Structure 1
C-alpha cells in the first residue's frame, strides 16, 4: 500500500517536472529583413514586443535569437528604409519586408529613433562635433574641438584630418556648419586607405555623406 502511494507521488513529481521543462524549452527564432527589391538590409534594428535587441541584422539581413519568452510581434527598423511590424505566428523562420518610403527624411528618422525605439546615440546633436563624439568611433575631439584620428600622430604640427563632403574636399569652416541630421554616414580613413589623397590625407580623412 505504501509502495503504491510512494509510486504515485514520484510519478506525479516526474510528470510535473516534465511539463515544467517542456514549458521552459528555449526556442530559436530567425528573422530575415529585406527591402522591396529583395535585397538584404544590414544593420536593421530588431524589436520583440517593442523591446530593442542588442544585436542587429548581419550583412545577409539575418537576425537570430534563442528565447524562452515568445513575442507577440516583431518589428524591424532601418534608418534608410523605414519600419515594418509583423505578428509572430510561432514559426522558426520569419521574413520582414521594409518598403522604402520616398518621403522619409532625416528629421523623421530622428523622430522615430527618439520617440519609438530609444536606439543608442539617437539624441539631437548640437553640432557636428557633438555628433562625432557620440556616433563615430576612432575619433578624438578636444574641448576646443581639435580633431585627431586615433592611431595617427601629428604631421607638420597639426592633427586636423582632411574633410571630404560628398566627394569634395572642404575646409574646417564648412565642416563646422554641417547639420548633424543631414548626415547619412561618416567614414574614417587612415593608413593605406588615404593613399589616393596623397600628402593631404597624412592626418587621416573624414568622409561625410549627406542626404
Structure 2
C-alpha cells in the first residue's frame, strides 16, 4: 500500500512539475528612445509575478510572463509605459518618450540609460502634453521657434542642419506615422490632431537613407484611444 502511495505521489509531483514547466513562457523585448537609441538599465516589471529585470547594454530584456500579462517599463527621466501581452506575444518593442526639459536629459545621461550623450542632445522632442498644439493654426507655426536651430523657409522647406548645398535640397525629411511623406502634407496636417513632434539633427538620421542626412522631422498623429 505504501509503495502504491509513494508511486502515486511521485507521479503527481512529476506531473505538476512538467505541467508548470510546459506553461513557462518567455517574452523578449527591446527598449529604445527616439526610435533608435537603446535605453540601458530600464526597469521592466511583470504584473503577474512582480518580477523586475533590467535592459542590457543594447536595450534588450527577457522575462517570464503569464498567458496574458502586462509589462511596465520605466526609467528616470522618461515617461513609463505599459505593454499588454497575450499567448501570441513573443517580441515586444518599447519606445520610451523622454520627459520635457533639460533635467530629463541629465537623468537619461547621468544614470547611464543613454550612453551617447552627444547623440541624445542632437535630438529634440515636443508632445501635446508639453504644449497645447491646438493653439497653432498650422504645423509650420508649431515648429517655428520651438526647436533651436530649426528654420522654416518661405517655400515650406524645414531646414535642420543648415544650407548644405546651393544646387541640392537641404530640406529635412518628413516622416508621419512611420511613413515618408512630401513636405506638402504640412499644409494639411491639423496641429490639434498631432500627438508628438521629434526632430533628429545628427548622423543617426542616416537610418532614413540619403535624405535623412538633412535631418528628420518625425510626426506622430493621435489615434482613436489618445
TM range (shorter): 0.3 to 0.5
**Length-normalised TM-score, structure 2:** 0.39
Q: Compare CA radii of gyration and give the structure with the larger one.
A: 1
